[in-house]
A = this chain, B = another copy of it.
Amino acid sequence: MDPFIQLVIEAWRIFRMPKETKVPLPTLERLATYFRYLSELASSDVETISSAHIEEATGIRAAQFRKDLSYFGEFGRPGIGYGVRDLLRRIARILKVEKEQPVILIGAGNLGSALVGYSGLRKYNFNIVAVFDSNPNKIGYKLWDRDIYDIERLKEINESLGVKIAVVTVPAANAQNVVDRLVESGIKVILNFAPTTLKVPEGVMVRHVCFIQELTVLSFFLDSDEV
- Chain A interface residues (CB < 8 Å from chain B): 14-15, 18, 25, 28-29, 31-33, 35-37, 40, 57-59, 94-97, 101, 103, 109-111, 113-115, 117-118, 120-121, 124, 126, 162, 164-165, 167, 188-191, 195-197, 199, 205, 207, 209-224, 227
Residue of B nearest to A126 (CB): B215
Q: Which of A58, A167, A221 has the most CB of B within 10 A?
A: A221
For the complex formed by this chain, how many copies does it contain in all?
2
Q: Check A114/B110 contact, CB under 8 A, given A126-B215, A165-B219.
A: yes
Q: Is the CB of B118 within 8 A of A217?
A: no
What is the bound-complex CA distance between A14 and B114, given in angstroms?
38
Q: Is the CB of A205 within 8 A of B218?
A: yes
What is the bound-complex CA distance between A210 and B223, given in angstroms?
26
Residue numbers in B under 8 Å from A188 (CB-CB): 221-223
Q: Check A213/B114 contact, CB under 8 A, given A58-B197, A218-B205.
A: no
Q: Is the CB of A101 within 8 A of B219?
A: yes
Instruction: Report which of B36, B101, B222 forms a contact with A189, defined as CB distance below 8 A.
Output: B222
Q: Is the CB of B220 within 8 A of A96?
A: yes
What is the bound-complex CA distance between A126 and B215, given in angstroms?
8
Residue numbers in B under 8 Å from A126 (CB-CB): 212, 215
What is the bound-complex CA distance between A129 and B11, given in angstroms?
52
Residue numbers in B under 8 Å from A124 (CB-CB): 212, 215-216
What is the bound-complex CA distance between A40 and B219, given in angstroms?
20
**How many Å from the CB of A119 to the closest CB on chain B?**
9
Q: Is the CB of B217 within 8 A of A164?
A: no
What is the bound-complex CA distance between A197 and B30, given in angstroms?
12
Q: Is the CB of B114 within 8 A of A227?
A: no
Instruction: Report which of B58, B120, B162, B224 forms a contact with A195, defined as CB distance below 8 A.
Output: B120
